[in-house]
Amino acid sequence: MTSVQKLAGLVVLILVLMASAAGVTWQVQDWRMGNKLAQQAVLHGDDLAAISNAATAQARAEQGKRLALEQQLAGQDQQHTKELSDAQRKQARMRDQLATADVRLSVLLAEDSASGCNVPTTPGTAGVVHAARRAQLDPAHSQRIIRITDDGDNAIIALRACQAYVRAIAR
């Protein structure tokens, strides 16, 4: 072999050794980076799991609060519905009593300012009543007054229900 051939063989040998060293180095770096990426993926998965668990816990807590509020509002709704039905029943009974003349509405008459006494000037039948003088209202006027007070009572009950609802929501 000639020296040129020896030199060419040596150069080829050096190039093959350099290429194999580069390949081995490349493979080692690939393994190291693969391990780092795998570790980062595990850590990232753990972080995502922790975030997901926290979000789930928060969603459950919010759902629990919402259910408690719904139950509280349902209870208040039942209470106000009962109050309204009781008031309506009482109003219907009062209207019936007015219609059958079991009850009569009356108004207080102004005192006689000259005498300053509540004793009636004309004698009554079979009794002595020293009370303020009253006049009975016409049944039609009594019915109108009862209707007006019924509407007012219903409005007050509805207002209380609305206020309770707003207070419950605001908490």
Q: Where are the domains of the chain?
A: 73-109+133-171
Helix (H) or strand (E) holding 91: helix 3-99
DSSP 109: P
Contact residues for 83 (Cβ-Cβ < 8 A; gap 6+): 157, 160
**Whole-number average pLDDT of the chain:** 84
Residue 132 has pLDDT above 90, yes or no: no
Residue 49 has pLDDT above 70, yes or no: yes
One-letter-per-residue 3-state SS of 11-75: HHHHHHHHHHHHHHHHHHHHHHHHHHHHHHHHHHHHHHHHHHHHHHHHHHHHHHHHHHHHHHHHH
Find tokens 């108004």 and name the residue.
Answer: 107
When comparing pLDDT for 16 and 127, which is higher?
16
The pLDDT confidence band at residue 120, using thresholds 50, 70 and 90, is: low
Q: Rank 1-10, 15-24, 125-134, 145-154 by mean pLDDT and report only the highest.
A: 15-24
The pLDDT confidence band at residue 47, using thresholds 50, 70 and 90, is: very high
What are the phi and psi torsion angles at 14 (to 5°)?
-65, -40
Q: Token pair of 73, please?
A: 């509002």
- According to the model, what pLDDT value does residue 116 have? 54
Cα 86 to Cα 157: distance, rounded to the nearest angstrom: 11
Residue 61 has pLDDT above 80, yes or no: yes
